[in-house]
Amino acid sequence: MRGKIWLFGNNIDTDQIYPGRYLELVEHSEIAKHAMEGADPAFSKEFEPGGILVAGDNFGCGSSREHAVITLKNAGVSAIIANSFARIFYRNAINLGVPVITCEGALQKMAKGDSVSVDLVGGIVTDLSTGVTLQGDKLSPHVLNIIEKGGVIPLFREKFGKE
């Protein structure tokens, strides 16, 4: 996958990703308007679907609510690369079909607006604007299958034929 890079720092918590004051919203298009609002108020106006977030340590810390991942998915974020993720956020992202790659040093070696290529199978992250290539963690075949299906619910619906 390829996309334009959006940079964020360390300890970006779920309230920065999707502020709690919007928890009552249910329409996905309305939810998406508030993506990353706590970290970058201009994000939803400037972000182009297909973009890839690159962050530092502990991305997604804070609340365990899925709303943070739901808003990023509905905003069109195609993947998230970070030095490290909060454990529950990481699992929520996989469960909802959003690729998350742990890749030490990506934040320090990439710039906002660069084009990046992500090989989910090999865990390879390449900044196409500079040629910098980094080795991130590889995703297991099981996780890749969940992401390919769009999350655990579509996977189970396909596997068990239930609505």
Tell me, which fold does domain 2-160 have in CATH?
Answer: Aconitase; domain 4 (3.20.19)
Residue 65 confidence (pLDDT) above 90: no
Q: What pLDDT, in 10s, does the model give residues 37-49?
A: 999 999 999 999 9
Buried b or exposed e, range 115-132, using 16+ CB within 10 angstroms = ebebebeebbbbbeeeeb
What 3-state class would DSSP assign to 22? Answer: helix
The pLDDT tens digits for 99-112 are 999 999 999 999 99
The edge-to-edge listing of strands for the beta sheet with 100-102 is 100-102, 79-82, 52-55, 2-7, 115-119, 124-127, 133-135
Confidence band for 163, pLDDT divided at 50, 70 and 90 = low
16 and 36 Cβ atoms separated by less than 8 Å: yes
How far, in Å, CA of 3 to CA of 20, rounded?
28
Give the number of residues written for the chain. Answer: 163
Band of the pLDDT at 161, cuts 50, 70, 90?
confident
DSSP 139: P
Q: Tokens 């502990």 label which residue?
A: 58
Strand stretches in the chain, DSSP E: 2-7, 52-55, 79-82, 100-102, 115-119, 124-127, 133-135
C-beta atoms surrounding 88 within 10 Å: 18
With H, G, I as helix, E, B as strand and everything else as coil, classify residue 7.
strand
For 116-159, the pLDDT digits (tens) are 999 999 999 999 999 999 999 999 999 999 999 999 999 999 88
